[in-house]
Structure 1
């Protein structure tokens, strides 16, 4: 994954773009992975770990009634998380993760379900996936999935 992360940082640098992260299910793993790359400080502005519904409401400014209606694991919530973190940090790119790493299902949704939000300038993307494994594996898979999707979008794929 090191090469993949280097590719992401290089791509962001080449395009003169900055990035911010809003993470729930990954608990900061996306931000950690990006900042493990030397030179990432030129593109990474910051991240928010909004693990609880209250953090999503109070820090990421997601409407509480929307969370009560949809739950926290939802494609629209992922999109709003990415859009709002982008605005909070003044970044060109905002990314988000929300999902269920287990061991128990929540909100009637199964372990392994995740949504990844990516907002680049004014373009919004949301991806759904389902992963299997223990908590650590699911979180790693979600992180790698997000990084791959972001590179694909940035490179016009």
Structure 2
């Protein structure tokens, strides 16, 4: 089998096509979630935190004080932008909550079926077992003679 035909067989597997579809839909879904976070939820959090913009929070490692992150970066000071980390964590939690709520709503739309209990297979009755043992003993005694 040639490399081309093996690759073609691999790429056309159902799993690969499903994965590619999921990636494309996931990318489209990401833009919706990003918009909800940026345009709806982040402004609400801004109001709740008194307009704090976490992305402007930083520590200059050279010990000097700068009025803004842009000023520190212009001075080529090494900075830890811990505010970006805080904002990323907040964004993650919002996205995780949004996806959780979306999946909860999705699960409710699925048709729920009550699983029917599967009956255990019936075994032989006591009488049938005793009859089998009797027949087996008869065979053994008949062959021994």
TM bucket normalised to smaller: under 0.3
Question: Which protein is richer in strand relative to its size?
Answer: 1
Question: Which protein is richer in helix relative to its size?
Answer: 2
TM-score (norm 1): 0.23
Higher relative contact order (CA 8 A, sep 6+): 1
Structure possessing the higher radius of gyration over alpha carbons: 2
